[in-house]
A and B are shown apart, each in its own frame.
Chain A
């Protein structure tokens, strides 16, 4: 398995290079000029030109690209051209809220989604199944920002139980930390609850029709051990895949939630950088996203053998 993991890691290098080239070309071939954005609305044209020279944006594209790649290879992702903060610092400054929101959302989705899916599979075709599926479809269909506003209206403005916006670090107290995460987690998590519930239901229904389940029943096993030990474990691979991809999607997909709840996370950093054409930040963040995505996929692949001992990886 170790050899397989190493081989997969080495295989990420060309992927990263291709992604780097694509990101750079897509950004620089557009009609945007960060120097004009930086200079402000009332800047003189010659001032914009001076800023362009100062930022090196007047250099040929290939020179800018190789300069950037050379610095990345040395571990330097550059600095924001607006506030001159190192990109890595900006990402690290924003990582905690995004990781906290991602983990709380995926935990919520797993804790609620898997039992819902198992229940729907067990009672497939019944009213319980239909209610669960209606809830799942609703959760899937409701846009995050709509649900977010509804939750804010009810729990923050009306009941005044939770804050409207903001993020409180765990370092400033666990209770305020969890309070700040409740509404964002609920609004973002509904989609993933729905996704995991549907995937669990489908997988468990398929497993429940297998011969070994019939054998277990024939041996007189009660329903809980059949569902939880035999069915759920054998249905785990597609569920784990969904959860793994869900985490990867969440890390890059929390933008709307971070905006609605004013959480200073990596998603908002990315969108702000795109809006203002802050090339070093966009390039750096997307490269980091790519690495995280590749690593999460690798972890998901490796976890398959834990659930299904028949799966073995060849070096």
Chain B
């Protein structure tokens, strides 16, 4: 009997001679890194949308004034050096020499100022900086000056925010911040290949030959961004089974976010490496709607913090404990703002007796509408919350929907029984390390969905941003945490990291909170 082992070489030889086995022909001509990103790139303008995939795209083609390194410290990027006046009100920045856009035009301070202004109109960190800005002026083509109307401790942190500002040519950056830019020219390490872009399928980036990298080693979003491959292709493979097969079959080189339950299969293959690229990962939040009963009452909101057991949520959402941690803090754990002040550790394990006591005090039998996104990682969290609330005797209506519907519905200020809602869950990244950027913290005019109103939280949030002294800032953060816990703005449900997988012949993956493809080599 002829075994498959005997037949396989013959088949392979036949295919080779007939030209059937042509995979990799292009790769021999130029080095191509094929990447499966976590989502499809739908919009190209990082100011127009807060979508994380668009942020990934922005880091490929744009450069930033400062960048956060692996330790979350702002490091100069496009800026060569800077000075701060003695009163802390004037910052003078000098741009590096040799910075050019992809069309060959030099990067000037006019481009930088226009990009900052457009970013300030949309971004939380940018908006906060704009409030304390007296003037932003160009001294010459390479030097610009920022003058503040009050000392502000977060100038460099703002310019190194993960959400920008990304520097575009002045003509592009002068686009209305509420309209998408039409041109995608940056000065980053890769050039967006618009001709080969197939929305929903493929995004192509070519190496920018004239990019002048910094001399420091790459670290997070900072340091030398040296493109070591000629071309990066993002292939959107929505089906995890297909993406895994493609990686195992050497058709793609890097998979950004494989589901944790597929990790053991890939770990078993010696040609595949699995590791966490972003050590900070994501936190998961439960957000109640403060406008309507029962969560307009502080005691009912407080009951939520006593009710939750983060291990239950993390086990349901992530599974393997290697990739999640409990987090006794209202801010992201492992960052400088982590604090358990105000009893934040109560969110880690469940105290149903205390939760029941608070519910008995303030709950009047209203129906709670929990939005359950069936196509989003936070879906299991909604099921657990609903079950826990029912255990406390709360009437719950669990409404299943897709994530797109949830994002539409949560913007509604209608009562829960008229198209509104009571609770939703979501996840957020490193922005949750700053009370200025953390979506759940704001409790005034700029409050996120759920619309909490608390003057003290707003005062402390602003005071934290304006305080330059690290110790005093820590004290403000503790006070802010205590107020958030007492007020019940939101509940932390845990923190987790997403593993990434890449072929063993890929090296130089830069760890940090953003996904960049500089420094990566493919043997």
Contact = CB atoms under 8 A, between A and B. Distances in A.
Interface of A: 30-34, 36-45, 47-48, 50-51, 54, 80, 82-85, 90, 93, 149, 152-153, 156-157, 159-161, 163-166, 173, 175-176, 179, 259-262, 264, 268-269, 272, 275-277
Given A31-B405, A163-B23, A259 B200 contact: no
B179 A80 contact: no
B398 interface: no
A32 B242 contact: no
B200 A37 contact: no
Contacts of B52: 41
B245 A54 contact: no
B470 interface: no
A13 B448 CA distance: 47
Contacts of B448: 42, 44-45
A297 B201 CA distance: 31
Contact of A41 (B11, B42, B249, B407): B407
B198 interface: yes
A37 B408 contact: yes
B18 interface: yes
B235 A83 contact: no
Nearest to A168: B22
| Residue picked from B15, B40, B182, B242, most chain A C-beta under 10 Å | B242
Contact of A262 (B22, B242, B411): B242
Interface residues of B, number: 61
* Most chain A beta carbons < 10 A, residue from B237, B426, B439: B237
Contacts of B411: 33, 36, 45, 48
Contacts of B49: 38-40, 43
Contacts, number: 144
Contacts of B431: 42
Contacts of B408: 31-34, 36-37, 277
A44 B200 CA distance: 26
Given A36-B407, A54-B178, A166 B198 contact: no
A38 B431 CA distance: 19
A42 B439 contact: yes
B335 interface: no
B42 A83 contact: yes
B199 A175 contact: no
B179 A85 contact: no
B428 interface: yes
Contacts of B23: 163
B47 to A, nearest CB: 11
B8 A159 contact: yes
B50 interface: yes
Contacts of B241: 149, 260
Given A85-B199, A175-B18, A175-B22, A259 B239 contact: yes
B404 A166 contact: no
B236 to A, nearest CB: 8
Contact of A45 (B8, B409, B449): B449
B19 interface: yes
B411 to A, nearest CB: 5
Nearest to B15: A161
B321 interface: no
B248 interface: yes
B199 A50 contact: no
A51 B11 contact: no
B11 A159 contact: yes
Given A157-B249, A164-B249, A175-B18, A32 B404 contact: yes
Nearest to B406: A36
Contacts of B245: 152-153, 156-157, 164-165
13 contacts: A31-B408, A32-B405, A40-B51, A41-B407, A82-B199, A159-B8, A160-B12, A163-B249, A175-B20, A179-B22, A259-B242, A262-B236, A277-B404
A269 B199 CA distance: 9
Interface string B181-208: 0100000000000000011111000000
Interface string B347-367: 000000000000000000000
A164 B251 contact: yes
Given A40-B51, A42-B439, A157 B248 contact: yes
A42 B50 contact: yes
